[in-house]
Each structure stands twice: as C-alpha cells, then as structure tokens.
Amino acid sequence: MIAMEYGLGVSDAERARLLYQCEIHRAEAERLIDRIGVGPGWRAIDIGCGPLGILDTLAERVGPSGTVVGVDRERRYLDLVELAGVELVEADATATGLPAGSFDIVHERLVLNNVARPADVVAEMARLARPGGYVALQDVDWISWTCEPDHPAWRRLLAAAADAWTGDVFLGRRLPALLRGAGLVDVEVSAHARVWRPGDPYHDLLLRFAAIYRERIVDRGMLSERQLDECVAELTAHLANPETITLYATLFQAWGRTPV
C-alpha cells in the first residue's frame, strides 16, 4: 500500500471535529449495528477508529462478555480513547498483524475515502472476519454536497477541495463493489444525507477544508491565493445568510458476510 498521511492532520481542531462527527453519525451507526444484530459476547473491531469511532456503540452492544478492539495508525488519536475494556492497536489498516478469522464484525467508518487503495483495507478487514462474520463499511460520497441557493464560490471551492483531497471523495457509492471484490456475500447497502443551517458546525465545513488544503489548492493550480481568498470571503457571507442551507455529503453504509 502507498503510505499516505491522513490528509486532515491530527491537530486539536481536527480531533474535536472527529468527536463532533461521531455525534452526527451516531444514530446511523446504531441503526447499522442493530440491523446486523451485534449482541452480547460478539468480538468486534473498529478499523481507523480515531479518537472514538464507534467503539462506544460496539462496547455497549457486545457487553462485558464481548471483545472490542480499536485500530488506528495515529497514536495521538488512540491516546484519546477513554473506554474501559477496549483494546487499542496502533497499526496500519492494510496490515493489522491481528489473527485471521478472529472477529464477528469488522467495521470501518470514513477511513476508505482517505487512503490510496481502499481495496487493500477491505481485503484486510475480510481476512479478520470469521467465516460467516460481518464486514461493515461507512463512507461519504460528495455527490450530494451542495448549498441552496447555489453560489459560484461554493462550486469553485468544492472542486478545489475535491482535487486536493488525499483520497476519493466519491467513494461512498463504491462500497458494495468493494465488499464483493473482497469476496463478501449477502451484500446490503443504504445511504443518508443531512441538511445544515447557519449555526450548525458542519454548515461551514467546506470553508474548513479549504483552509486545511490551502497550500495544496494553490500548489496544484486550482485557484490562486487571491482567488481563494475571494471565494472564501464570498462563501462566508453566503453561508451566513439565514436562508442558505447546505445538503451534506451522503453517508453510504454497506455490509456483507464472509462465505461460510
């Protein structure tokens, strides 16, 4: 696998964003876990768990007789996990070093759209699942990410951020194919998108991505520094308008079982 830094970094602001994001996606994660039927005694693992991921939901569902493992290659994220009884492993998602066939459910959320070769991660996840065990994926697809009313600055910044992104921002739709490609069967899929208004932290997320990727956007020639500043100023004003709403990226969920 080509080693790639996690493009959004490990700043305090990014850690806070990831914890907020856990709350945003909590209800969908719980629905997914319940639909799969995760219950007491299950052995569960969250790949690329960051500072929390869905470790808390898994721990609650599997109870004291179950096992929960969190994997991430960023020690600084793992150090933030404050959950008793959860085992934390610092490793790359493509080569965890954990025993094959040792989990009833192997889950990842928002990792695949940050890596160069998502299929390598899904192959490792399939290796970790026991025969008949589940592999569950949750990743976004920017297909739906829009603002209403539309604005040229939105479109320019969205295109620039997508170009600067260190993975595939349209990966969500490919999750079922990735599972089938790794040999999973009984593959299912669902998708959800959220609406934000002024005041919601994710209403301005595109501006935050534009700030993080500023250098890459300019270096790659997507926008000059002056154009970027103009777009940011125009979009800041547009998003602050009480009548502007944003429709966020679609969260795809796909899951399947390893053949028995």
Q: Which stretch binds ligand SAM (CB under 6 A): 15-23, 214-222, 224-232, 251-259?
A: 15-23
Three-class secondary structure of residue 176 per DSSP = helix
Neighbour count for residue 188 (Cβ, 10 Å):
15
Q: Establish if 73 lies at the interface with ligand SAM (CB under 6 A).
A: yes
Residue 18, interface with ligand SAM (CB under 6 A)? yes
CB nearer to ligand SAM: give 16 or 100: 16
The count of residues in the chain is: 260
- Say if residues 58 and 65 touch (Cβ distance below 8 Å): no
Cβ pair 132, 190 in contact under 8 A: no
How far apart CA 28 and CA 26 sit, in angstroms, is 6
Least CB distance to ligand SAM at residue 53 (A): 4
Told to check if 255 binds ligand SAM by CB under 6 A, we report no
Stretch near ligand SAM under the rule CB under 6 A, chosen from 70-78, 177-185, 193-201, 249-257: 70-78
- Of 157, 253, 155, 144, nearest in space to 196 by CA: 144
Q: How far apart are the first and last CA of the chain?
A: 28
Give dist(CA 161, CA 206) in Å, integer.
8
50 binds ligand SAM (CB under 6 A): yes
Residue with tokens 């990743």: 139
Residues 82-111 that bind ligand SAM (CB under 6 A): 92-93, 109-111
Verify binding: residue 252, ligand SAM, rule CB under 6 A. no
Binding of ligand SAM at residue 49 (CB under 6 A)?
yes
Q: At what angle do helices 26-36 and 12-24 cross, to 10 degrees?
A: 50
Which residues, including other chains, have CB under 8 Å from residue 100's CB and lie 6 or more apart?
127, 128
Work out which of 42, 59, 70, 74 binds ligand SAM, going by CB under 6 A.
Answer: 74
At closest approach, how far in Å is the CB of 202 from ligand SAM? 13
Contact with ligand SAM (CB under 6 A) among 38, 43, 62, 72: 72
Judged by CB under 6 A, how many residues of this single chain contact ligand SAM? 19
* Residue closer to ligand SAM (CB basis): 22 or 153: 22
Nearer to ligand SAM by Cβ, of 93 and 175: the residue is 93
- Contact between 115 and ligand SAM by CB under 6 A: the answer reads yes
What is the dihedral angle through the alpha carbons of 214, 216, 218, 223, rounded to the nearest 10 degrees?
Answer: -80
Contact residues toward ligand SAM (CB under 6 A) are 6, 18, 21-22, 48-50, 53, 72-74, 77, 92-93, 109-111, 114-115
